[in-house]
Structure 1
Amino acid sequence: MDRLIVAVSERALPADDCVRHLADAGFGTFEFFSFPTWDDAEPLLFERSVSLIIMDVSVEGTSEAVAMLKNDDMFSHVPTLAVIAESDAASIERVSEIGFDAWIPVKAVDAAETLLPVALRPLIAGFQRVASLLQKTSELQEAGIKDFILLDLIKDYIPKTIWDIAQQFAHEQKIAIPEEEMDLTIVFADLKGFTPMTQHMAPREVIQTLNSVFAVASRIVYEFDGDIDKFLGDAFFAVFSDATRAVKAMVRLQLELAEMNDTRRTEGLPTVEFRIGMHSGPVIRGNVGGNHRFDNTLIGDTVNTASRLEALAPPGGIMISEETRARVGTPLPSTTMQRVPIRGRDEEITVYSLPPRRNTKPNDATT
């Protein structure tokens, strides 16, 4: 189907010559329709796909018509070309204010047949400028969509904390994330005996099992305002700013995992159990890596101690340091206090073993 040019002008426009010279200029075949008023032309815009709209600025209602075109998603991409009486600065400024994409002087329309090839050059040039503008706009839109998809993909692969910081710094036009000292509760959770279990599983089954467990862990961590800093094979490393919510989250996780294991047993599947260690204290968030790859991570004795406590926790249980227990705002359920040696420390530390209770409601886990 031929492309469509719609003109709105009280003067007769050389339609055939316009179409011919556009074709000669390499724009392909067009149909040309001319109307004396915008009201006459408007119905055709809803019936056919329009490639170019030419409007005489002297026609009543031109400004309103262009405003409608530019604000309507159906027509905002269609180039608009103004026919002006004089190509002086004031006239050109006016058509720009109205919102036209390009302009052509009326004398080019009134030119004699012998001058048409020359006279229509502004029209062709205007059409080329508009086409170039639309192409650039399309490329920018496509690039914007790709960037949006890329960012949406990346967002799921980095900690929420880092994403939020990066967004803030990008808004402030800062190009580096600085080191930051903070006080946090660190959680390490590792699936007990998972590696030997995978010897009898296909790789796809391993991923499916991990994802089913980590889906529960992720949901609970974020529900209690935490953030998963890393997945480490069959383990994860999470952070909380509130120790009470951190403990509640991990008790909830152990309870839900116990319920999941009931289902897995009935289906003849092996059970999965987390060992969890928790410690609270000062850490530093910093950038680690080289020029081509950085990791923004948490470093410090608090992180190391939480990892050591996870190794001491029983399967299905939670090992909490004295520092974390002191920050919990509500009494903990029955715990076992003990002194344990920690690799890298000269003295033993006080820890509390918190086994999950199947009859405890998740929201009341620390009450």
Structure 2
Amino acid sequence: MNLASTPRSSEIKYSTTEVPAFRDEYILVVDDDWMNREVIEAYLQTAGYRVLTANSGVKALEIAAQEVPSLVILDVNMPGMNGYELCSRLKSDPLTRLTPVMVVTALEADPDKLKAIEAGADAFLTKPFNSLIMMTQVKSLLRIRRLHDEVESRNALLRKVLNRYVNEDITEVILSDPDRHLQLGGESRMITVFFADIRGFTSFAEAQPAKQVVSVLNRIFSELTPIVFKYRGTLDKYVGDEIMGFFGAPVASEYDAINAVRMAVEMQQVFAELQRSLTAPSIKNLGLGIGIHTGEAAVGNVGSQRLMSYTVIGDTVNTASRLQQQAQGGHIVITESTYQQVRDYVEVQALSSLHLAGKSEPVHAYRLLRLK
């Protein structure tokens, strides 16, 4: 069967410097006809591409599972699994969904092309094909694949950065609409803010070598920070020996307040376990005081285009910070607004009205005793 309308591949010289093949790239050619496979393989190898071949759809899937191809060129009419089904299988597999697929067919009717498009085909090559057209399409599809890989690589790096601040699920929400979530600006949101401060750490730092102080602080933060993410909170910052974070942004939930409270309870439990495991005698004198407040605040990216921080600003933040200062080591103190959202889930002890710095009116607060 004469597939090509141009001279044999051995008679054509392609410049491998035009679109150099990347080291790990390879093209998978799938056709049940050995002659068709060899013709296409010869053209591609002459151009400098690494090529693997398969004589069936099943064999092609086996090869792709072992090493993801950069491009698949497949024939439509094959016994068993035809090209449409193979294309659909490749596009539905997370490993190969971004791999471009070129369909080679003698069928020129629009319904056949539509069927290939519905299966996920990215390009067509009609028999007998022009080898120059084929090679141009190959270069174009590989260029697109490389762009996809570059985007995926950048997204992977961005995920790694974002996962330091938010739960992995929230990271995916941010990446689904980066123009919204990764630009300067903010909005008013109902959030629950917490501050967790290590009581007695200043005295501890004065009495210990700097290296040990940093080691202990990093150990504590390393144990407490994952708890923030576990309950879908957002880590805002570390301030000295203090952790600040919030719930309700960038993704809000009706459970934000109770998640913050549950996080605080687990933080206290983990901190107590840490005190038992750490060897420095003065570590026993430390405690964790946590303050939680719910209210409206401005939430968004603050800074400049070069350096920005996703944070919360407003009286709600100040109230939570001042409240935390009232919490003794081992205590969790919440405001009335937080209590109203979690009252069915907690047991509390009402505190005397607190006169917080910067607040003209006293603040009603509660010490959290336990979860119900």
TM-score w.r.t. length of structure 2: 0.62
Shift of 1:27: 6.4
- SS at structure 1 position matched to 2:145: helix
Q: C-alpha deviations, 1:265-318, integer Å up to 9, x for none?
A: 4x7683442122223333332443234333332222221111112223222223
SS at match of 2:144: helix
Residues 1:20 and 2:27 aligned together: no
One of 307, 313, 316 as aligned partner of 1:302: 316
The question of whether the paired residues in 1 share the 8 Å contact of 2:205 and 2:213 is answered with yes
Q: Structure 1 regions of 5+ residues with no counterpart?
A: 1-8, 29-35, 85-89, 107-121, 357-364
Q: Secondary structure at the match of 1:338?
A: coil
Q: Distance in 2 between matches of 1:80 and 1:247?
A: 56
Distance 1:61 1:269, change over 3 A: same
1:149 CA drift (Å): 0.9
Conserved 8 A contact 1:159-1:230: no
In structure 2, do the counterparts of structure 1 residues 169 and 133 end up closer, same or farther at CA, with 3 Å as the change threshold?
Answer: closer
Where does structure 2 lack aligned partners over 5 or more consecutive residues? Answer: 18-30, 38-52, 64-68, 248-254
Identity of aligned residues (%): 23
Maintained 8 Å contact 2:184/2:308: no
Question: Cα deviations across residues 35-63 of structure 1 (Å, max 9, x unaligned)?
Answer: x9838878x735999999798x9xx7699
Match status 1:102 vs 2:125 = yes
Letter in 2 for 1:284: A
Structure 1 residue aligned with 2:188, among 180, 189, 197?
180
1:337–1:351 contact (8 Å) kept in structure 2: yes
Q: Which residue of 1 aligns with 2:149?
A: 142
Residue 192 of structure 1, aligned match among 196, 199, 203 = 199
Pick the aligned partner of 2:283 from 256, 259, 270: 270
- Contact kept, 8 Å, 1:284 with 1:298, in 2: the verdict is yes
SS of match in other structure, 1:314: coil
Q: CA RMSD in A?
A: 4.9
From the superposition, tell whether residues 189 and 239 of structure 1 become closer, same or farther in structure 2 (CA, over 3 Å). Answer: same
Correspondence for 1:261: 275
Q: Are the structure 2 counterparts of residues 195 and 64 from structure 1 closer, same or farther at C-alpha, using a change threshold of 3 Å?
A: same
Secondary structure in structure 2 of the residue aligned to 1:190: strand
Residue pair 2:184, 2:301 contacting (<8 A) in 1 also: no
Larger C-alpha radius of gyration, 1 or 2?
Answer: 1
Q: Which residue of 2 aligns with 1:116?
A: none
Cα distance in 2 for partners of 1:317, 1:53 equals: 65
Asked whether the 8 Å contact 1:275–1:318 carries over to 2, the reply is yes
Count, aligned residues: 312
How far, CA to CA, are the matches of 2:264 and 2:161 in structure 1? Answer: 27
Q: Aligned runs of 1:1-367 on 2, under 5 Å?
A: 9=1, 18-22=8-12, 24-26=13-15, 38=33, 45=54, 66-67=83-84, 70-71=87-88, 91=108, 101-103=124-126, 105=128, 122-123=130-131, 125-160=132-167, 163=171, 166-167=174-175, 169-170=177-178, 178-182=186-190, 184-195=191-202, 197-198=204-205, 200-201=208-209, 209-224=216-231, 226-240=233-247, 242-265=256-279, 270-271=283-284, 272-330=286-344, 335=349, 337-353=351-367, 365-367=370-372
